[in-house]
Amino acid sequence: MGKSITHKIIEQHLVSGEMVPGTEVGLRIDQTLTQDATGTMAWLQFEAIGIGEVRTDISVSYVDHNTLQMGFRNPDDHRYLRTVAAKSGAVFSPAGTGICHQLHLENFAKPGATLIGSDSHTPTAGGIGSMAMGAGGLSVALAMAGEAYFIPMPKVVKVHLTGELTGWAAGKDVILELLRRLTVKGGVGKVFEYGGPGVESLSVPDRATITNMGAELGATTSIFPSDAKTKDFLEKMGRGNDWIELVADEDAVFDEVIEINLSELEPMVAQPHMPDLVCKVKDLAGKKIDQCAIGSCTNSSYSDLKNTAQILSGKQTPPEVDLLISPGSKQVVKMLAREGLIEPLLDAGARVLECSCGPCIGMGGSPTSAGVSVRTFNRNFEGRSGTLDGQVYLASAQTAARLALEGEFTDPATWGPAPERVELPKDVPSIRDLFVFPPEDKSVVEILRGPNIVALEDFDELPQTVEAKVLLKVEDNITTDHILPAGAEITALRSNIPAISQYIFSRVDAEFVNRMKEHGTGVILGGENYGQGSSREHAALGPRHLGVKAVIVKSLARIHRANLVNFGILPLLLVDPSDYDKLSEGDDLVIPAGAMTPGGTIDITTASGKTVAVTNDLTKKELEIIQSGGLLNAVRNNQS
Ligand code: SF4
């Protein structure tokens, strides 16, 4: 029987388990990436493991999220990351060099390699055929230490592409169409593998946009074949030797097949506040726009910004539209500058920002109160822009640039001819010298820390019987932004768990932290898709520091579930979702945690006599990790 690309890569990296969907497989990891927001913790964890040097082919520590230096915290973190990378044999990418996923695609990702990153958009590298997955920082720390990465063997969905993009439709519209059809829950436990005759018409940046935002489907990852387009991309990046051909066998069998005819796609947008609330741009005609932001790891490539410059050239945005552009890397900026494409951006009225996440993570560029912001990003959760009532729409770079000129949503049929599809130039300038490679003699490197970098505390083992109150009841689709809001003030505390924990659920229920302090332990009750969004492990570490012992939910998002396991919080699933209504905030619960078995059911009782059955989807190993108080304890126990 023929194999998919996904099966080929997993087979080559399999260290434990069998390739049966849903059962656990352990994978050897070739590459890791970290970014500063989650990376300081990942590196503190790597240090705590005590392994010395990284054991991957390459590990890269990027600084792209918290690049603002408004006090000592961020610069201290950057210095810590630079020195710990040098000491540990990893590559360091300084602030301003670019966004981790764009940089990794351009400089390090390889077809056929496994990559995990402490950022949920790590699947961007799937655009050139890497099996690239977002993971918790601790999983990344362990992979850097040479440990396997464990996932449930995914189902493989073939997205069969036919036709060719026409007019103003872009790669972004392919993934928006999938989100429209499948919703933010539609990809859980699945890899989306692209194939069919339409693939060859898509550029590598288009492919990377699609795999990047596959994360919004909840997918394990997304992957494209490595073909002639990939070869051309890698050769132009000066990495022709990294290319291998990687395609699915003709007779490969898939768990599911989805058909998309690229020729039928037209410009689309995701409406506030979910990436799957997708409609056609023309359906919003007449709605005023206050801001357009072009950039992020989804759409900040050379081709995105060259198209933007072509659309804006010789024109100006209306004064009421604030236009922000954040290039994905200095390589992109160098190419634009060389071709005289920065000037049209500036002349159009755009603010050209640093090569970093910037407005995507709420670092500047917040829209006005209730302002409509059209962004080329991948997420539009409420409040993520930094403006609580901001109305964020997600679109392609071409659509956002064109709408910036219009000042309102209009029908793309009135936009005139679309810009040409951009190819990379032959002589792409290198930025390799901007990366800091580790020295031969690492003994001379001193790891430098600041006062905001606090070593990890030890966590206790899980008791046989957990007695705790429900201290928070939340609804469906709670995101990691709800659990721990983004924003400069909060994320600056990412290496200081006691300090950052004070913000847990602060925008959902300002009294939650005080209740946790008063009781010392607690349980959170949630609905469907609890913990969707980013890979932010602080959303598990913070609750654990406060004393949260379990979350009881209808369903859980994949990465957050892994983070809960890693930090020793029980992720319990209601057997009957309607039991959610039976439990209330303030209920005293007795959870017989010691009686839990993988996939088994236990009864939780309340002091008032109610009984609720909960189950779990934990493996034996995951259960042991939780019982020992988290993965660091478990790894240390194994070592000793
Ligand atoms: Fe940065 Fe935004 Fe991409 Fe996250 S989604 S890596 S914040 S650009």
The percentage of residues in the chain with a pLDDT greater than 70, rounded to a whole number, is: 100
Q: Do 178 and 192 meet the contact criterion of CB atoms below 8 Å apart? A: yes
Predicted local distance difference test score (pLDDT) of residue 395: 98
155's CB contacts (< 8 A; 6+ apart) are 21, 189, 190, 191, 255, 256
- Kindly tell me if the per-residue pLDDT of 639 is higher than 70: no
Would 397 be classed as within a structural domain?
yes
Q: Do 20 and 29 meet the contact criterion of CB atoms below 8 Å apart? A: no
Q: Do 431 and 439 meet the contact criterion of CB atoms below 8 Å apart? A: no
Query: Does residue 221 sit in helix, strand or coil?
Result: strand
Predicted local distance difference test score (pLDDT) of residue 610: 95
Q: How far is the CA of 69 from the centre of ligand 1 (A)?
A: 18
Residues 191 and 310 in one domain: no
SS (H, E, C) 57-97: CEEEEECCCCCCCCCCHHHHHHHHHHHHHHHHCCEEECCCC
pLDDT tens digits, 129-154: 999 999 988 899 999 999 999 999 99
Would 330 be classed as within a structural domain?
yes
Compute the residue count for the chain. 640
The stretch 410-423 carries a mean pLDDT of: 97
The stretch 457-480 carries a mean pLDDT of: 95
Q: What angle do CA 629, 632, 634 make, to 5 degrees?
A: 65
Residues 252 and 294 in one domain: no
Residues 252 and 275 in one domain: no
Q: What angle do CA 432, 234, 253 make, to 5 degrees?
A: 135
The stretch 205-232 carries a mean pLDDT of: 98
Higher-confidence residue of 621 and 551: namely 551
Instruction: List alpha helices for 350-419, DSSP H.
Output: 397-406
CA distances from 266 to 176, 263, 396 (A): 10, 8, 11
The percentage of residues in the chain with a pLDDT greater than 90, rounded to a whole number, is: 89
Q: How far is the CA of 26 from the centre of ligand 1 (A)?
A: 27
Predicted local distance difference test score (pLDDT) of residue 405: 98
d(CA 475, CA 24): 30
* DSSP annotation of 529: T
Would 372 be classed as within a structural domain?
yes
Predicted local distance difference test score (pLDDT) of residue 489: 83
With a 6 Å cutoff on the Cβ, whether 360 touches ligand 1 is yes
Beta strand pairing status for 24-27 and 372-375? unpaired
Looking at ligand 1, which atom is closest to the CA of residue 101? 6
Last residue of a domain, one of 264, 283, 300: 264
Laid out side by side, the sheet with 14-16 consists of 14-16, 24-27, 149-152
Last residue of a domain, one of 215, 242, 264: 264
Q: Whose CA is nearest to atom 3 of ligand 1?
A: 297
Active site residue 7: no
Residue located via tokens 């959760």: 381
The stretch 612-638 carries a mean pLDDT of: 91
Helix 73-88 to helix 36-49 angle, to the nearest 10 degrees?
50
Best of 100, 329, 355, 360 for a ligand 1 pocket test (most atoms within 8 Å of beta carbon): 360
Q: How far is the CA of 359 from the centre of ligand 1 (A)?
A: 9
Range of the domain at 491: 466-639
d(CA 3, CA 9): 10
Residues 390 and 473 in one domain: no
d(CA 568, CA 623): 9
Would 155 be classed as within a structural domain?
yes
Tokens describing residue 341: 């494409």
Residues 332 and 292 in one domain: yes
Residues 481 and 588 in one domain: yes
Residues 627 and 504 in one domain: yes
d(CA 303, CA 325): 14
Tokens describing residue 308: 């933007």
- Kindly tell me if the per-residue pLDDT of 304 is higher than 90: yes
Would 30 be classed as within a structural domain?
yes
Q: Whose CA is nearest to atom 1 of ligand 1?
A: 357
Which is nearest to 296 in space by CA: 105, 104, 64, 78?
64
Which is nearest to 188 in space by CA: 355, 21, 410, 367?
21
Predicted local distance difference test score (pLDDT) of residue 389: 96
Radius of gyration of the chain (CA): 24
The stretch 59-64 carries a mean pLDDT of: 98
Q: Do 170 and 269 meet the contact criterion of CB atoms below 8 Å apart? A: no
Last residue of a domain, one of 264, 283, 302: 264
The stretch 2-9 carries a mean pLDDT of: 98
415's CB contacts (< 8 A; 6+ apart) are 168, 402
Active site residue 65: yes
pLDDT tens digits, 452-466: 898 788 889 999 999
Residues 42 and 96 in one domain: yes
Looking at ligand 1, which atom is closest to the CA of residue 300? 8
With a 6 Å cutoff on the Cβ, whether 296 touches ligand 1 is yes
Predicted local distance difference test score (pLDDT) of residue 382: 92
Pick the catalytic residue from 104, 379, 560, 561.
379
Predicted local distance difference test score (pLDDT) of residue 640: 63
Burial class (CB in 10 A: 0-12, 13-18, 19+), 446: exposed
With a 6 Å cutoff on the Cβ, whether 355 touches ligand 1 is no
Residues 339 and 370 in one domain: yes
Number of independent structural domains in the chain? 3
Active site residue 555: no
Would 452 be classed as within a structural domain?
no
Tokens describing residue 207: 């492919």
589's CB contacts (< 8 A; 6+ apart) are 466, 467, 468, 469, 470, 523, 583, 604, 605, 606
Q: Is the peptide bond before 273 cis (omega within 30 degrees of 0)?
A: yes
Containing 570, the helix (H) or strand (E) segment is: strand 570-574
Split at pLDDT 50, 70, 90, the class of 636 is confident
d(CA 547, CA 637): 22
Containing 149, the helix (H) or strand (E) segment is: strand 149-152
Q: How far is the CA of 296 from the centre of ligand 1 (A)?
A: 6
Share the mean pLDDT of the chain: 96
Q: Give the CATH number of the domain where residue 252 resides.
A: 3.30.499.10
Residues 476 and 382 in one domain: no
Give the CB-side neighbour count of residue 529, counting CA atoms within 13 A: 19
Would 354 be classed as within a structural domain?
yes
Predicted local distance difference test score (pLDDT) of residue 559: 84
d(CA 125, CA 538): 24
Residue 394 — φ and ψ, nearest 5°? -105, 130
Tokens describing residue 409: 């949503």
Would 442 be classed as within a structural domain?
no
ipTM of the complex: 1.00
pLDDT tens digits, 173-212: 999 999 999 999 999 999 999 999 999 999 999 999 999 9
Predicted local distance difference test score (pLDDT) of residue 488: 74
With a 6 Å cutoff on the Cβ, whether 294 touches ligand 1 is no
Predicted local distance difference test score (pLDDT) of residue 519: 97
Residues 285 and 254 in one domain: no
Q: Give the CATH number of the domain where residue 615 resides.
A: 3.20.19.10
Predicted local distance difference test score (pLDDT) of residue 168: 98
Query: Does residue 8 sit in helix, strand or coil?
Result: helix
Residues 225 and 289 in one domain: no
Active site residue 206: no
